[in-house]
Structure 1
Amino acid sequence: MVVEILLVLGGLALLVLGGDLLVKGAVGLSLKLGMTPLVVGLTVVAFGTSAPELLVSLSAALKGSSGIAMGNVVGSNIANVLVILGVTALVSVIVTKGHDLRESWAMMIGASVLMIALAFTGEIGRIEGMILLAALALVLWRQLTTGRADEADVDGTTLGAGWGRIALWLGAGLVLLPLGANLLVAGASDIARAFGISDTVIGLTLVAIGTSLPELAASVASALKGRADMALGNVVGSNIFNLLAILGITAVVSPLPVPPEMLRLDLWVMLGASLLLAPFLLRGVSLSRPVGAAFVVMYGAYAWVLL
């Protein structure tokens, strides 16, 4: 069991480091090629921060652990709202006024409803995967034609980076991410079998939290720099990409049976967590520390029910 735990911890560490390096390298390359901060933020950074989830889901699906693959996506969306926003709000109050994410929130809810509807077919197969990817294309088109980006949101360490440093970041990220994903899936699967816990529960909790660590680190860092509001955009964008891009790509590569227990509880918790953001994104209510604490307690209750 010690070996399995070390595999999980090592995999998580490599995913966090690899994701950070890949995003830095991708942003640096995009800026070198003259891409605008808007395109960088909506495409390169969004996919880069979702790389751990994508690699883990693909690796799990190809190894026959479809429960981990599905649980990773659903669990990450739950954790993004309740854990990431909860912890960030505990660090610094998240002011939502002046940050219009109403349309993006509606897209996140739409993506959640679409995914749930497809899940009731019993399998997210290749056709369902293509439907999700088609929806992703529409979301990207809408964001690219209407969105605005703040150049200050681009990580300053990538501005002016040389070609050598960019190549090093990209290369290291591309090596560390798949390695970390394989270690995490292998360790988590062995732990699940040893304790009689289903792959789905492991995916919904341990793996989901693990692959969300880059977003958590980024959100807390933003809060400490006085930019806690950026956490809202990170969570909403990440949840949309998790459902449409990661699940869509994984299903096209390897069809995913939907665990029956997920239809009874987890998908509805995911949708409910997303709906919790309505007063904050639609009415401009700030996410205070008590709200952050309540979010974290909700996730703890959910995890307790699963285990």
Structure 2
Amino acid sequence: MQIIVQLLLLLLGFVLLIKGADKFVEGSSKIADKFHIPQLVIGLTIVAFGTSAPEAAVSITAALNKNADIAISNVVGSNIFNILIIIGITSIILPLTIQKSTLRFELPYVIITTLVLLLLGLDGTLSFVDGVILWVMFIIFFIYLIKLSKSGQAQADEVAEASEKDKMPILLLLTVLGMAAIIIGSNITVDSATKLAEIFGMSPRFIGLTIVAFGTSLPELITSITAAKRGKDDIAVGNIVGSNLFNILFVLATTSLITPVPFAKSFIIDTIVAIAAAVILLVCVFRDRKVGKKGGIIMIICYVAYFGYLVFLK
């Protein structure tokens, strides 16, 4: 009975995280639009934050609760899942094309960023200084995005525009409720995931790398499938790559600025797998900027092998 209760609570946590992020983005985007803030800026900040809000909330909550295994595994697991499963499955259904900018800068930057994370974590802790280093890399990425978007080579995420029907008090309430749902959802998710790990005799690391990573990656999954269906397959891949950068350079960076985050030796392998996943994607698209069915199958096989490794060591 306790297992069912915790599973239902975990599901509730995911729903609150995803719906909360959605409403927060909608409300805050429309408020920004009413103040005539450029759509480009809104798309690169508020909307981009929205898809990574679940990872951010869960990691920060887990770190503050002294549960570093979930704080780290949530981000690293999401990044692995994003590439090997989301891109893998989507590319099996239809070939995915990536933009030149993603191939030349963003994807190599993911590899470099994940490698930096690995190097920073080798001493066993992500410290305040480590957070500053990651944030500097985030600022570099953000400046790059602004320049790229202004040059017309890339588009920011779609932004909800305010209409006359949207009243400021309602938008403020929507934004506050959205943020409240994110905070409450993150607490429920971390608590239920920790208890499930105890019940099943599994490590919080295993739960974070699999179940929690899947749940917090749902916004990226929905965004990518929707973009691919609309024929915007280049945006589908770009969103995943951007999300992976955001997860490390904003989520883990901000978490380590708030509190030191222990980086267990077991995460070295997981981080190497995250680097390998990005390298596999780079190899698949290097020739003609496309991920086809063959590449998708390879990614799925790699994830199955990685999952098997996690189960064996759980």
**Structure 2-normalised TM-score?**
0.89
**Cα pair distance change 1:284/1:170, threshold 3 Å:** farther
**Cα pair distance change 1:234/1:128, threshold 3 Å:** same
Alpha-carbon offset, residue 159 of structure 1: 5.4
Q: Does 1:61 align with 2:66?
A: no
SS at match of 2:75: helix
Aligned residues: 304
Q: What is residue 227 of structure 1 aligned with on the other side? A: 232
Contact persistence 2:61–2:190 (CA under 8 A): yes
Matches within 5 A, 1:45-84: 45-84=47-86
Gap regions ≥5 residues in structure 2: none
Contact persistence 2:92–2:293 (CA under 8 A): yes
Q: What is residue 184 of structure 2 aligned with on the other side? A: 179
Alpha-carbon offset, residue 20 of structure 1: 1.7
Partners of 2:100 and 2:38 in 1: how far apart? Answer: 20
Q: Does 1:302 align with 2:306?
A: yes
Q: Does 1:162 align with 2:166?
A: yes
Partners of 2:20 and 2:193 in 1: how far apart? Answer: 19
Which amino acid in structure 2 is aligned with residue 100 of structure 1?
A: S
**Cα pair distance change 1:23/1:111, threshold 3 Å:** same
**Cα pair distance change 1:142/1:223, threshold 3 Å:** closer
Q: What is residue 85 of structure 1 aligned with on the other side? A: 87
Alpha-carbon offset, residue 10 of structure 1: 0.8
**Cα pair distance change 1:147/1:66, threshold 3 Å:** same
- The range that moved more, 36-45 or 2-11, is 36-45
Q: Deviations over 1:218-261 (max 9, x none)?
A: 11111222222211111111111111111111111121111111
SS at match of 2:143: helix
Partners of 1:293 and 1:30 in 2: how far apart? Answer: 42
Alpha-carbon offset, residue 35 of structure 1: 2.8
Q: What is residue 273 of structure 2 aligned with on the other side? A: 269
Alpha-carbon offset, residue 4 of structure 1: 0.8
Report sequence identity in percent: 35
Consecutive aligned runs of 4 or more in structure 1 exceeding 6 Å deviation: none
**Cα pair distance change 1:284/1:248, threshold 3 Å:** same
Which amino acid in structure 2 is aligned with residue 9 of structure 1?
A: L
Partners of 1:173 and 1:225 in 2: how far apart? Answer: 27
- The range that moved more, 220-229 or 74-83, is 220-229
Q: Deviations over 1:53-103 (max 9, x none)?
A: 00000111111110000101111111111112122223432123x543121
Q: What is residue 104 of structure 1 aligned with on the other side? A: 106
SS at match of 2:97: coil
Which amino acid in structure 1 is aligned with residue 11 of structure 2?
A: L
**Cα pair distance change 1:172/1:197, threshold 3 Å:** same
**Cα pair distance change 1:86/1:168, threshold 3 Å:** farther
Q: What is residue 286 of structure 1 aligned with on the other side? A: 290
Q: Deviations over 1:140-173 (max 9, x none)?
A: 1232234346669525x54537235533442331
Contact persistence 2:122–2:265 (CA under 8 A): no
Alpha-carbon offset, residue 210 of structure 1: 0.8
Q: Deviations over 1:180-220 (max 9, x none)?
A: 11111111100111122111111111111110101101111
Which amino acid in structure 1 is aligned with residue 198 of structure 2?
A: R
SS at match of 2:290: coil
Partners of 1:290 and 1:166 in 2: how far apart? Answer: 46
Which amino acid in structure 1 is aligned with residue 299 of structure 2?
A: F
Q: Does 1:215 align with 2:220?
A: yes
Q: Does 1:197 align with 2:202?
A: yes
Q: Deviations over 1:102-126 (max 9, x none)?
A: 2122221221111111011211111
**Cα pair distance change 1:91/1:252, threshold 3 Å:** same
**Structure 1-normalised TM-score?**
0.91
